[in-house]
Amino acid sequence: MSELPASPLVSLRDIVKTYHRGQQTVPVLGGITFDIDAGEFLALMGPSGSGKSTLLNLIAGIDRPDSGQLVIGGVDIGVLDEAELADWRAQNVGFIFQFYNLMPVLSALENVELPLLLKDMTRRERRERALLALEMVGLADRAEHAPSELSGGQQQRVAIARALITDPTLIVADEPTGDLDRESANDILHLMQRLNDEIGKTIVMVTHDSRAAGHAHAIMHLEKGELSGREEVRV
Amino acid sequence: MLFTLIFRNAFRHRLRTLLTITGLTVAILAFGLLSTVISAWYAGAEGASGARLITRNAISLIFPLPLNYREKIRQIDGVRSVSLANWFGGVYKEPKNFFPQFAVEPESYLGIYTEYRLTDEERREFLHDRKGCIVGAKLARTYGFKVGDTITLQGRIFPGNWDFVIRGIYTGRDAKTDVSQMLFHWDYLNETLKQRSPGRANAVGVYIAEIAEQGRAAEISRAIDAQFRNSNAETLTETDRAFQLGFVSRTESIVVAIRIVSYLVIFIILAVMANTMAMTVRERSAEYATLKALGFGPAFLVLLIYGESLAIAAIGGGIGIAATFPAAAAFAKTLGKFFPVFEVSNTTVALQVLWALAVGLVSAFFPARRAARVKIVDGLRSIG
Ligand SMILES: Nc1ncnc2c1ncn2[C@@H]1O[C@H](COP(=O)(O)OP(=O)(O)OP(=O)(O)O)[C@@H](O)[C@H]1O
Ligand SMILES: [Mg+2]
């Protein structure tokens, strides 16, 4: 078999991000360069305020760098306008948040279905797919429950189903277990590992917790807006 | 799903939404009632004709005109017929029973005021009985008057008891016609006065001239007044409509006050609703940011927010408009004697719809703009 030249799925070059607080400028990311391969499960670690979330938001296309180039899946997302970027996110990114960010007025099933509203699909197709995704996270029996009727771990599983439903190229997770007890956290991490192993999803996860990071393939360390090292995780 | 989201969002804080809806209902209802009061105020003038001229004493309505003016007015070019009327101002049983009574010259009066409808028989009976009178359908309903009844009025301007026999109940040509009056024979008044207080006989309150062409109203009015210039009873002639409006304009400040109040009510509910929407949208910043992150554009959020605001406005406004009709009917029952015509007009309903819509749209404007513009990362941060 002839192999294609392996180009990374995500490529960051000299990414700089500064926040302005009044007159003050707060440098957050000072020229970050690295690649993420397709199929990777990468953990981003670092002290609070080191810029982990900022970096993740840039990769997810919900924030823009001041300078530098960000190419994901062959697309330079820096040149997209807001509407194009929104479309790009809908196609390519699945989000998992620390506080789940489900719509409280929608049922578990409807929450999972939500991203499919942006696709050209019948109501029935949407339902079927959402149910399938809920099944994958083991919550098919909770389809009609409101988020408030679910535990934190269950809500996060619904959120994972929502992140999966559009079959995105990339899943980003900002402290997905930050609000969960150890047991629920383990469930979530195993689930994410399965997504990575079984369906080959590329995952970038920010975490404080080294045990959580241990589920990833590799850990990137961020310190005051600079990369301070990368370690491979041995299973 | 969009409608599910809008509807469930609207009723997320059930109490808050119900209070807002109640406020809107009350505001739209109050606006409708106040507008109806204003229309009722002008209704007399609207029903009045521009083809009729009212000639009164130039000094004041309370000073009479000589009887011989009738013939002189009739001879003026463009005048087709002339009738006359006196305000009677009697009391039926108790002073609170107020209704307009006019002593008129029946044949000519009914010939000019063709909007008062009587059957041929009623008309004949009325014309033949010098002590006969006719009453409007609404007046008859209010006091339970029937044809053949004898009613006694205590004169205020013309002292003594006055008996009348009801010979007919007139209806109106359309909703604008005043059907709350009583008309009787001027001759009866005059003949009785000749006996009781001869000095007051042969005096006429106003002359009503029917003219052939409405377009000549101003010219003919001037001609009539010129005829009596330098006499000891100079006249002031204007169209029936202007005459009625003159009455309205004397009470204009009340009408203006009512109108201001009606808009104030709308303005208050607008402020309340705008505040509620702003608060609601601010609370949901993280949700809107999440939707944006998932790839929904600003237009979707704008739709959600306007949808919610309009849904609440439509419910509150709808109930308010629906309630206006029974409320106006109840109003008409108690205040009917002051307002000959008290009906919710199409214009009022259209304005209610318009204002409910405006409240919904304006309330959503700033929150929607904010939600559409806020950066995703800032919205997500607000989760706490
Ligand atoms: N919108 C903003 N305006 C101003 N400063 C900001 C903004 N967002 C982040 N920062 C600053 O940027 C720096 C990095 O923030 P970031 O949220 O990326 O850190 P983090 O590594 O995710 O921290 P934590 O582990 O606490 O979540 C911090 O000093 C933060 O105060
Ligand atoms: Mg963070």
CB count, 10 Å around CB of A140?
15
Give pLDDT tens digits for B128-154. 999 999 999 999 998 999 999 999 999
Q: Evaluate: CB of A51 within 6 angstroms of ligand 1.
A: yes
**Residue scoring higher pLDDT (B181 or B339):** B181
In-domain check, residue A2 = no
* Cα(A12) to centroid(ligand 2), Å: 19
Residue A5 has pLDDT above 80, yes or no: no
Task: Report the SS3 class of residue B144.
Answer: coil
Give pLDDT tens digits for A130-164. 999 999 999 999 999 999 999 999 999 999 999 99
Nearest CA in chain B to A164: B294
Please report the pLDDT score of residue A2 as a whole number.
44
Task: Report the SS3 class of residue B181.
Answer: coil
Q: Cβ of A83 and B297 within 8 Å?
A: yes
CB count, 10 Å around CB of A6?
9
**Residue scoring higher pLDDT (B250 or B282):** B282
Q: Which residue's C-alpha comes closest to atom 28 of ligand 1? A: A49
Q: Evaluate: CB of A53 within 6 angstroms of ligand 1.
A: yes
Residue A1 has pLDDT above 50, yes or no: no
CB count, 10 Å around CB of B55?
26
Mutation choice for ligand 1 from A20, A28, A177, CB with most ligand atoms inside 8 A: A28
**Closest approach atom of ligand 1 to CA A57:** 18
Query: What Å distances lie between residue B277 and B249, B268, B317, CA to CA?
Result: 41, 14, 16
Q: Cβ of B295 and A83 within 8 Å?
A: no
In-domain check, residue A161 = yes
In-domain check, residue A66 = yes
| Closest-approaching ligand to the CA atom of B382 | 1
Tell me if B233 sits within 8 A of B203, measured CB to CB: no
Give pLDDT tens digits for B212-263. 887 788 889 899 999 999 988 999 998 887 777 776 666 778 888 999 999 9
Q: Cβ of B295 and A62 within 8 Å?
A: no
Distance from the Cα of A128 to chain B's closest Cα (Å) equals: 15
Residue A6 has pLDDT above 70, yes or no: no
Please report the pLDDT score of residue B383 as a whole number.
54
The answer to whether B286 contacts chain A (CB < 8 Å) is yes
On the CB side of B103, CA atoms within 13 Å amount to: 27
Please report the pLDDT score of residue B336 as a whole number.
66
Chain B residues closer than 8 Å to A99 by CB: 286, 383
Q: Cβ of A62 and B287 within 8 Å?
A: no
Listed range (A40-49, A185-194, B33-42) with the worst mean pLDDT: B33-42
Residue A229 has pLDDT above 90, yes or no: no
Average pLDDT over residues B353-367: 97
Q: Evaluate: CB of A223 within 6 angstroms of ligand 1.
A: no
Chain A residues closer than 8 Å to B375 by CB: 63
Please report the pLDDT score of residue B97 as a whole number.
83
| Closest-approaching ligand to the CA atom of A44 | 1
In-domain check, residue A4 = no
Please report the pLDDT score of residue B156 as a whole number.
87
**Biggest alpha carbon–alpha carbon distance for chain A:** 58
In-domain check, residue A5 = no
Instruction: Give the pLDDT band (50/70/90) at residue B384.
Output: very low
Please provide the average confidence, as pLDDT, over all residues in chain B. 90
Please report the pLDDT score of residue B247 as a whole number.
67
Chain A residues closer than 8 Å to B299 by CB: none
Q: For tokens 């629920």, what's the residue?
A: A184
For the beta sheet containing A75-76, the strands, ordered from the edge strand earlier in sequence to the opposite edge, are: A24-36, A10-21, A67-72, A75-76
Average pLDDT over residues A196-207: 94
Please report the pLDDT score of residue B337 as a whole number.
64
Nearest CA in chain B to A83: B297
In-domain check, residue A1 = no
Q: What is the CATH number of the domain that holds A224?
A: 3.40.50.300
Mutation choice for ligand 1 from A15, A21, A54, CB with most ligand atoms inside 8 A: A54
Number of domains in chain A: 1
Please report the pLDDT score of residue B218 as a whole number.
84
Give pLDDT tens digits for A56-93. 999 999 999 999 999 999 999 999 999 999 999 999 99
Tell me if A137 sits within 8 A of A191, measured CB to CB: yes
Residue B62 has pLDDT above 50, yes or no: yes
Give pLDDT tens digits for A160-187. 999 999 999 999 999 999 999 999 999 9
Instruction: Give the pLDDT band (50/70/90) at residue A94.
Output: very high
Tell me if B103 sits within 8 A of B182, measured CB to CB: no
Please report the pLDDT score of residue B290 as a whole number.
97
* Cα(A35) to centroid(ligand 2), Å: 21
Q: For tokens 């009887």, what's the residue?
A: B67
Domain residues for the domain of A156 are 10-232
Q: Which secondary-structure segment (H or E) carries B55?
A: strand B52-57
